[in-house]
Amino acid sequence: MTAQPYPVIATRIDPRAEEFRANADANGAAIDKLTAALQEATRGGGDKYNARHKAAGKLLPRERIEQVLDRDSYFLELCALAGKDVPGHTPGAGLLGGIGRVSGVECLITASESTVKGGAISEMTAWKSGRLSDIAEHNRLPSISMIESAGADLPNQSKIFVPGGRGFRDLTRRSAAKVPTICLVFGSSTAGGAYVPGMSDYVVMVKQQAQVYLAGPPLVKMATGEENNHEELGGAEMHARISGVSDYLARDEHDAIRLGREIVAHLGWKKAAQPAPRVVEPPRYDPGELLGIASPDVKVPFDQREVIARIVDGSRFSEFKPLYGTTLVCGWAHLHGFPIGILANNGILMSESAQKGAQFIELCNQSDIPLVFLQNITGFMVGKKYEQEGIIKHGAKLINAVSNSTVPAVTIMTGASYGAGNYAMCGRAYAPRFLFTWPNHRIAVMGGKQLAGVLDIIQRDAAAKRGEAVDEAKLV
C-alpha cells in the first residue's frame, strides 16, 4: 500500500497586494546590495595584483577551484564575506572555501587568496578556516586545500598564533576519522603553514613553484649561518625526491589539479547510508515570492507556513500539533526527496510552543530525521503570569532538546533573532551543520527600542535612589 502524500499548504499570499510589492522592492534592494558585496569579494587583490599573478604564469585562486571541479558541478561558497568591514581585512578573509563535486565526490575545497597580501593568514583567516574545517568534519567531506600563502600576517601575529594552531589539530582529527585530506601546493607554505602539507594525507607540489619549509633562507642563515636557496631548502623537487613530504610532483598547476582529481577518484569515497530519495517535486508556489513575504522590518510578523510552502517538495507539509503552541510551527516535509522536520517561529515563544518544540525534536531524533530551523524570534514571553506558569522551565526544556539532538540541523535566519530565542532555535552556539542568513536578518540580545527603554528605566531608577533629578540630556 502506497503511503499517502502530505497535504499541500494553501497559500493566502496575493502578489498584487501593496504590502507584498513593498516587501519585494525592499528585499530586492537588499539583495542587490549583497550581490555587489559578493562581487567585490571575487576581485581578490584587485586588478593590479591579479594581473601580476597571471603574468607569473599562475592561475588565480578562483580559477584553480573552477578547474578542480567537475564540469557539471555547483560550488557552494561559504563565509564569502568573512572580514568585510573589519579594519585591516578584505571580504573573504584571504581564503576561498566551499563545497563542490570533484570526480563525482562532494568535497570541501579551500584556496589561499594569494593576490591579497600574498595569501597571508590573519585572525579572520584562522576563524574562517576553523569554520570550514568543522563543516568538513561534521559532514564527512574529503577536503582539498590549495596552498599559496606567505604564512602568518606578522604585524598581527599576536592575534593569530594561538587560534591558528587549531587548523593543524583539525587536519589530524579528520585523518584519524578516515576523512581524507588532500593538499595541492602552488607556492609558498612556510613556517607553521608547512605543517598543512606535512599533516595532509595526500600532497601534490608544483615543480619550480612550491616552497615548503619551517624557516626560509634568511632565517636559516641568521640562526645557523647556513646558506641555501629556496629550491634546496624546500623546493617541490627536493620534497618529492629527498624528504618525502610530497607524494606527487606536478609539472605545472594544471598537472597538479589533474593529480588532485585523480587522487579523489581513487579514494572510493561513498557517503554514509541515507534513505532512498523520493521523486523530487518542485514547490507548487514560486520561491521568488519569498521576497514579498518576509518584511524588511523585523518587527512585522509573517506566516512561516508561506515560507515553508515555497521551499519544500510539492509545497507539502504535515503539521504537528497545529492547534497547540501556535507560535511555533512544527511538522514534516521533504526537501529534494529527503525527509526533514521543520521548526519555524510564528511569534514569541510561549510555554506551550516550547513544550511542543521539545517533543517534536525528540520525535525526529527517534526516526533519524534531520531538522531545519526557520528563525524569526524576538525571544520568550515575559511577565508575572508567564514566570509563574514556568516559562523558564519550559524554555529550558526546549534548549535542552536542541542541545542534545543528534540528527543533522540546518538553521535559516529569516528575520529577528533576539535573546534566548536564538538559543532555543539552534543558533550558532548550538552547532547547526549550516547556518544561512537572509539579508533582512537582525541578531541581538534584545531589539534596539527595547534596549533603549531598559537603559532609560535603569538610569531613572538609579537617579531616584540617589535622590537626584534626572539629566534628560544624558539619557541614552
CA distances in angstroms from 322 to 357, 374, 416, listed in the order given: 12, 17, 23
Amino acid letter for position 447: G
Q: Are 170 and 137 in contact (CB under 8 A)?
A: yes
Which grid cell sits at 246?
610530497
What is the model's pLDDT at position 2? 57
**pLDDT value at 369 more than 60:** yes
Average pLDDT over residues 192-220: 90
| C-beta atoms surrounding 154 within 10 Å | 10
Average pLDDT score, the chain:
90
**pLDDT value at 418 more than 70:** yes
**pLDDT value at 155 more than 70:** no
Average pLDDT over residues 99-127: 90
Which grid cell sits at 352?
506551550
Average pLDDT over residues 12-18: 95
CA Rg, the chain, in Å? Answer: 26
Tell me the pLDDT band of 451, cut-offs 50, 70 and 90: low
Q: What predicted TM-score, i.e. pTM, was given to this entire model? A: 0.91
Instruction: Using a pLDDT cut of 70, give the percent of the chain over it.
Output: 91
**pLDDT value at 1 more than 50:** no
**pLDDT value at 228 more than 90:** no
Tell me the pLDDT band of 159, cut-offs 50, 70 and 90: confident
Worst-scoring range by mean pLDDT, 154-158, 200-204, 441-445? 154-158
| C-beta atoms surrounding 362 within 10 Å | 12
Spatial distance between the Cα atoms of 208 and 236, rounded to a whole number of angstroms: 7
Tell me the pLDDT band of 463, cut-offs 50, 70 and 90: low
Bridge partners for 211 per DSSP: 188, 235
What is the model's pLDDT at position 404? 98
Q: For residue 189, give the nearest of 236, 222, 229 by alpha carbon.
A: 236
Q: Which CATH superfamily is domain 56-265 in?
A: 2-enoyl-CoA Hydratase; Chain A, domain 1 (3.90.226.10)
Q: Are 200 and 145 in contact (CB under 8 A)?
A: yes
**pLDDT value at 420 more than 70:** yes
Length of the chain: 476
Worst-scoring range by mean pLDDT, 222-236, 238-252, 263-277, 423-437? 263-277
**pLDDT value at 389 more than 90:** no
Spatial distance between the Cα atoms of 398 and 402, rounded to a whole number of angstroms: 6
Worst-scoring range by mean pLDDT, 53-62, 236-245, 358-367, 427-436? 53-62
Question: Does 56-265 match 287-445 in CATH topology?
Answer: yes
Give per-residue burial for 6-29: e unless 16+ CB within 10 Å, then b. Answer: beebebebeeeeeebeebbebbee
What is the model's pLDDT at position 150? 76
Spatial distance between the Cα atoms of 361 and 341, rounded to a whole number of angstroms: 8
* CA 124, 128, 133, 138 torsion-angle sign: positive
**pLDDT value at 457 more than 70:** no
Spatial distance between the Cα atoms of 383 and 392, rounded to a whole number of angstroms: 11
Residues with Cβ < 8 Å from 59, sequence gap 6 or more? 67, 186, 253, 254
Average pLDDT over residues 339-355: 95
Tell me the pLDDT band of 393, cut-offs 50, 70 and 90: very high
**pLDDT value at 123 more than 90:** no
Which grid cell sits at 208?
619550480
Q: 446 or 24: whose pLDDT is higher?
A: 24
Q: Which CATH superfamily is domain 287-445 in?
A: 2-enoyl-CoA Hydratase; Chain A, domain 1 (3.90.226.10)
Worst-scoring range by mean pLDDT, 182-191, 236-245, 368-377, 379-388? 379-388
Which among 41-50, 279-288, 461-470 has the top mean pLDDT?
A: 279-288
**pLDDT value at 62 more than 80:** yes
What residues does each domain of the chain span? 56-265, 287-445
Q: For residue 126, give the nearest of 102, 158, 100 by alpha carbon.
A: 158
Q: Are 179 and 217 in contact (CB under 8 A)?
A: no
What is the model's pLDDT at position 257? 98
Average pLDDT over residues 278-290: 94
What is the model's pLDDT at position 448? 61
**pLDDT value at 352 more than 90:** yes
Spatial distance between the Cα atoms of 203 and 392, rounded to a whole number of angstroms: 53
Average pLDDT over residues 232-255: 96
Spatial distance between the Cα atoms of 452 and 125, rounded to a whole number of angstroms: 35
Which among 216-220, 263-267, 273-277, 415-419 has the top mean pLDDT?
A: 263-267
What is the model's pLDDT at position 475? 61
Show the 3-state SS of the chain: CCCCCCCECCCCCCCCCHHHHHHHHHHHHHHHHHHHHHHHHCCCCCHHHHHHHHHCCCCCHHHHHHHHCCCCCCEEECCCCCCCCCCCCCCCCCEEEEEEEECCEEEEEEEECCCCHHHCECHHHHHHHHHHHHHHHHCCCCEEEEEEECCECHHHHHHHHHHHCHHHHHHHHHHHCCCCEEEEEEEEEEHHHHHHHHHCCEEEEECCCCEEECCCHHHHHHHHCCCCCHHHHHEHHHHHHHHCCCCEEECCHHHHHHHHHHHHHCCCCCCCCCCCCCCCCCCCCCHHHHHHHCCCCCCCCCCHHHHHCCCCHHHECEEECCCCCCCEEEEEEEECCEEEEEEEECCCECHHHHHHHHHHHHHHHHCCCCEEEEEEECCECCCHHHHHCCHHHHHHHHHHHHHHCCCCEEEEEEEEEECHHHHHCCCHHHCCCEEEECCCCEEECCCHHHHHHHHHHHHHHHHHHHCCCCCHHHCC
